Structure 1
């Protein structure tokens, strides 16, 4: 017989893996982006975002492995804060710093 508790654990584990993937992707992008791009875009410094996203990746990883008896355990407030931090970076900061390196004379299909 299918147990609801087992299905919910599986769903929350998959959500924890997704939260870690999102945090890791944001951290990878922040590492690759130059510090100058953050300043030109008017966002917080690269150092700030590396610390925030590093902690987000750490806490979301601890939440994901917590389902195996190691780490923080269930989806908790730190994992939720990690998703929020990574979401803010990916929705607001990433597009702003991505615009910095592009030239102004590009057409709809690339540079002229």
Structure 2
């Protein structure tokens, strides 16, 4: 009984990890490469590779590819969460500021 409950919790965590990785990958695809260079972050190509692998591994963990049963968390799923978390917490806010326009007043654009 407890084992089934833990399996369910790990499966839900794997689904959340997949959503987080997919969201980070989607954002990095939409962000222009120039924004990464201007902010001094790693290149867009490198982030696309990292986040693609993170999405792949978190998806594999969510469907139970690596282990017995659904949602078994493993090293790759944890690495996917770390990589996506770094992107969403550090890189996304920095690159999102690029291209918003400089003519902003206190009450909106001029």
TM-score in terms of structure 2 length: 0.92
Determine helix, strand or coil for the equivalent of 2:63: helix
2:66 match: 72
1:45-88 residue CA offsets vs partner (Å, 9 max, x unmatched): 0000000000000000000000xxxx112100000000000000
Counterpart Cα distance in 1 of 2:57 and 2:107: 40
Where does residue 96 of structure 2 map in the other structure?
Answer: 98
After TM superposition, the runs of 4+ consecutive aligned structure 1 residues lying more than 4 A away are: none
Shift of 1:110: 3.0
Distance 1:15 1:42, change over 3 A: same
Q: Provide the aligned length of Structure 1 versus Structure 2.
A: 106
How far apart are residue 11 of structure 1 and its match? Answer: 0.4
TM-score normalised to structure 1 length: 0.91
Q: Structure 1 regions of 5+ residues with no counterpart? A: none
TM-align CA RMSD: 1.0
